[in-house]
Amino acid sequence: MTDFAATKAMFNLPQGVVYLDGNSLGPLPRAARDRVSDMMVQEWGQMLITGWNKAGWMAMPTGLGDRIGRLIGAEPGSIVTGDTLSIKVYQAVASALELCPDRKVVLSDSGNFPSDLYMVDGLLRSLGPEYELRVVAPEDVADNVTEDVAVLMLTEVDYRSGRIHDMKALTELAHAHGTVTVWDLAHSAGAIPVDLATCNADFAVGCTYKYLNGGPGAPAFIYVAPRLTEQVRPALSGWLGHESPFAFDLDYRAGNGIERMRVGTPPILQMVALSAAMDIWDMADMQDVRTKSIELTELFIKRVEAACPDLQLASPRNPAQRGSQVSFRFADGYAAMQALIAHGVIGDFRAPDIMRFGFTPLYIDEQDVENAVGILADIMQNRLWDAPEFKVRQSVT
């Protein structure tokens, strides 16, 4: 059994704060401070450029990929980290399209994270006017997987509501129609059990700064099913994805296996911080995390609905159908969230009216839930949110 008291002690959590925004940015692992400092002093400081060999920097993207892979059911050697999630979305969709050269449609849904849609729209505009990004309602995805769809690109857990797509069923449906799948796991990795191999997923991408606690700007990851790796042509043919980067050939030859999906120089400082977070994840079992997450979110919903009747549940009521977050609708949700943050409970707001709360059992427990609901109830019942300072929109919500 995962010892959640032990994992909570391994995070730097400010006193007097209940942090319910790990679905947007995970808190600082205590070990990351010393780990990054030691790397800067002992490796970068003393080894200089020789650190790429002596300290093993060059192997970090795939090493971390395998550690993430344990949490999402990926085969060893099928994940590499680096770059940003938007870059990885572009890579995955571009490569997936080339596997279906006679089709021109990418199917997604209106619950997808906008950046994913932006990246694909830009890619398809570059490819030509015959390509189409087809966006439907989440509940209509299955009915729109048709014979002309090249790629089905979905975020498994909706970033606003927490609704979960059925990865296994939709992947089977897509394959039955000759469609390649790309799954965004930004709100899945570290939040819910994922089994890419069993689901027979083709591509997956995700970030590491949310539930995985890698820190702001932490690298993204990309998964390619081993059965496809040698067929995939990287659209972003960066030098570290080359078969032999230090041969400095003028002609690109894709590297072996998942290495070909590397693009630019890996962000080593961020990867060192991520490695400290993964040490904590090495202590956790995803089924334990999921069980505890459901307990916490069920308790939160029960308490909020009893104390705050003005808030309307926006997440699926069935815990099996939502991720590790709970969202409530409130017309003045932005102001209410700002008031909540000012009183020591940090969640976030998503337009137009969503108050969003993330639950990570690695550092959130039942007492945190009770404390958060008590403060939220005071803010709602006494209209503490109805103050001018809480209605001024900041650049990050």
| Residues belonging to the active site | 113, 184, 209-210, 356
Place of tokens 């080359």: 242
Provide the residue type at 82 as one letter: G
Name the DSSP class of 392. S
d(CA 386, CA 253): 60
Q: What is the distance between the alpha carbons of residues 314 and 301, in angstroms, rounded to a whole number?
A: 11
- DSSP letters spanning 113-174: -HHHHHHHHHHHHHH-TT-EEEEE-GGGTGGG--TTEEEEEEESB-TTT-BB--HHHHHHHH
How many CA atoms lie within 13 Å of 88's alpha carbon, on the beta-carbon side?
A: 26
State how far Cα 118 lies from the chain centre: 17
Q: How many Å apart are CA 156 and CA 226, to the nearest integer?
A: 21
Token pair, residue 297, equals 């979110």
Pairing of strands 354-358, 348-350: antiparallel
Rounded to a whole number of angstroms, the distance between the first and last alpha carbons of the chain is 36
The alpha carbons of the chain give a radius of gyration, in whole angstroms, of 22
Q: Which residues pair with 242 in a beta bridge?
A: 254
Half-sphere exposure in the Cβ direction for 374 (13 Å, CA): 8
Local structure of 358: helix, strand or coil = strand
350: helix, coil or strand?
A: strand
d(CA 342, CA 338): 6
Cα four-point dihedral sign 183, 189, 192, 198: positive
